[in-house]
Amino acid sequence: MNGIAAISNRIEQGDAQAADELLRLVYDDLRRLASFRIAHEVAGQTLQPTALVHEAWLRLGGDQQPQWQNRAHFFAAAAEAMRRILIDRARSRHAERHGGGLKRLNVDDLEVANDADDEQVLAVNDAMVKFALVDPKKAELVKLRYFAGLTIEEASQTLGISEPTAKRWWVYARAWLFREMHP
């Protein structure tokens, strides 16, 4: 049994120190993901990587972590938590500054979490939510690549698929999102 699953079992059994141990085990990886994502947010971003990691940790359950099957399961959940935090913040800023009106955008440059403004993040998220209804596995790849900033190699490992499959899925997902965002 891998480290995350073993620690998760200890948390389930009531080990008070296991959650702290889990955080120490994954903190550097979470911090790297958060740093990458924050570095590619628009200028004036006030959320720091450490705060994003801590908020994601709390959304994952804090000291009452759920049962994690393995590393991939944990990081998929962490990527989702970070995505939701960033989307919530973008929606909040967008509503305050722009009256809630969204504009369509060009996704020709849709790659790993680039210098996206709030409107683009929201538009990609909205399209990805629709995509998840059509193809949840490929939508998970979009989440890991675009919102968490994982490379194709890292995302393929997290999803348990081959790198060539991840590349094919990424091409398909980008085309689908482009079509959805440009009716």
Question: pLDDT of 33-58, one tens digit each?
Answer: 888 777 766 655 667 888 888 888 88
Task: Please give the residue range of the domain that contains residue 98.
Answer: 3-181
Q: What φ, ψ does residue 29 adopt, rounded to 5°?
A: -65, -40
Domain count, the chain: 1
pLDDT tens digits for range 141-171:
988 888 888 889 989 998 999 999 999 999 9
Q: What φ, ψ does residue 116 adopt, rounded to 5°?
A: -90, 140
Contacts of 26 (CB under 8 A, 6+ apart): 4, 74, 75, 78
Mean per-residue pLDDT for 18-30?
87
Q: Tokens at residue 70, please?
A: 């393995």
| Mean pLDDT for all residues in the chain | 80
